[in-house]
Amino acid sequence: MKTGKIFYLALILFITTINSQTINVSGNISTPDSVVKNARITFIDASDTSKSYTALTDSMGNYNIGLVTSIGENETEIPEYFHLGQNYPNPFANETVINYNLNKQADVSVTIYDILGREVKKFSIGEQNAGIHGIIWDGKNNFGQMVTTGIYFYRLQSGEKSQVNKMIFNKGGNNLNPLQISNLSFKKTNLGKKSEVKDNAYFNIKVKSDTNTTPLIVISEYLNQKIEGDTTLNFKVEEAKIIFGQSIEGIKLGDDSATVIDKLGLPEQIQTGDFGGFIFIYLLPDSSNRIKVTFMEEYDSRVTAITVHEYKGKTKDGIGIGSYRNDVLKIMGTPSSTYSEDSIADNYILNPLSGFMNSQIYIFYNIDEVLISLIMMIYN
């Protein structure tokens, strides 16, 4: 409703103390094979990177987010204080906006709890610059289910600082109060400089995996995207095929041969030898190695190593064949050991993960420090 949008706009003006308007963006995030649940999508204002807006997709891969865009030439300032604003509308029936101010860069999360203190929904936003930020909660929990009517608490965690506020969800109610709207007047203001409403803005968009994202996806960035009014933006993203400490192409250390064949099909080659086991070899069309799956009899003929070479799959952070070593080190950190002759091999001992075998990763680079192959194997 137009009146509702004006009322919402006036509230944002009050909270941020700057001229602004709100653009509503919705859409869907999916891979070629499935929708992506609980993916994190972030819009960063290209003209002021201290402003960012984050949402998570629901169980159908859909998201909805409100982007606050500036009007005219007024400059924004870094907030003086760390502050969690009161959500609006409150009570709410469909969705509510939670705004907050950061006076310095920090790792940020917003968690919603029920009246018994149980976690209902968590937005793991990550590192954010100082500035004015906001999220939208659609009344759904971490599993995409609508919560029940009642009192909820929302907690902003920014580094070591935190604040908590209370809100009320009224399922089946109405977000708009006709009495408030009828008494509202709104007009553009001039703060000493010429002000003109912007009906478009430019945003850098980042789509990435979050704590409960299914399936995990490769981080994607879309720079300097023009957003013109309320719009729909759908994103096709790449599923993460390499998950360090867990699996490659869906194959886990410890899987039996029947499971591997079920997931990858029959291998093009089976290699045997005097090493006490056998290797399934899956090839690319040019007959170069795509993936090798090694089984060892000492582990009851289960997967003990997975090797990729000339392979297009990547991790959720974008690591894959062709990545540069410096980029890998930024994400993986210092390796447990490094071997260097004509090429470089970095070895990482991975922390044990619940439900998975202890593992290590060998990452091989050529002389130009470009990743050419990697092996995930059981670590004793």
Per-residue model confidence as pLDDT tens digits over 145-194: 889 999 999 999 998 889 999 999 987 665 543 323 222 222 333 333 33
Do both 263 and 364 map to the same domain? yes
Indicate whether 220 pLDDT > 60. yes
Distance CA 175, CA 134 (A): 18
Global pTM exceeds 0.85: no
Exposure pattern of 183-208 as b/e (b: 16+ CB <10 Å)?
Answer: eeeeeeeeeeeebeebeebebbbbbb
Indicate whether 18 pLDDT > 70. no
Q: What is the mean pLDDT of residues 240-244?
A: 94
Q: Give how far Cα 6 sits from Cα of 72, 187, 229, Å.
A: 18, 10, 14
Q: In total, how many domains does the chain have? A: 2
Q: What is the mean pLDDT of residues 91-101?
A: 85
Establish whether the linkage from the previous residue to 352 is cis, with ω within 30° of 0.
Answer: no
Q: What is the mean pLDDT of residues 125-149?
A: 85
Distance CA 207, CA 36 (A): 11
Domain of residue 165, CATH code: 2.60.40.4070
Q: What is the pLDDT of residue 87?
A: 86
Among 236, 257, 273, residue at a domain's last position: 236
Do both 263 and 337 map to the same domain? yes
Handedness of CA 366, 371, 376, 379 (dihedral sign): positive
Indicate whether 94 pLDDT > 70. yes
Least confident window among 14-23, 262-271, 369-378:
14-23
pLDDT band at 324 (very low <50, low <70, confident <90, very high): very high
Do both 358 and 224 map to the same domain? no
Would you report the helix, strand and coil content of the chain in percent, each value rounded to 5? 10, 45, 45
Do both 196 and 331 map to the same domain? no
Indicate whether 279 pLDDT > 60. yes
- Which residues are registered as beta bridge partners of 166? 153
Residue pLDDT, tens place only, 196-206: 445 568 999 99
In terms of Cα–Cα distance, which of 305, 237, 248 is closest to 275? Answer: 305
Among 236, 257, 283, residue at a domain's last position: 236
Indicate whether 3 pLDDT > 60. no
Phi, psi at residue 328, to the nearest 5°? -65, -45
Q: What is the pLDDT of residue 327?
A: 95
- Which residues are registered as beta bridge partners of 112? 121, 154
- Domain with 45 in it: 2-236
Do both 132 and 267 map to the same domain? no
pLDDT band at 77 (very low <50, low <70, confident <90, very high): low
Do both 169 and 264 map to the same domain? no
Q: What is the pLDDT of residue 189?
A: 33
Do both 273 and 219 map to the same domain? no
pLDDT band at 238 (very low <50, low <70, confident <90, very high): very high
Distance CA 226, CA 237 (A): 19
For residue 227, give both structure tokens: 């957003």
Do both 146 and 267 map to the same domain? no
Do both 209 and 254 map to the same domain? no
Domain of residue 292, CATH code: 3.40.33.10
Alpha helices in 77-191 (DSSP H): 178-182
Q: Residue 244 carries which DSSP code?
A: T
pLDDT band at 20 (very low <50, low <70, confident <90, very high): low
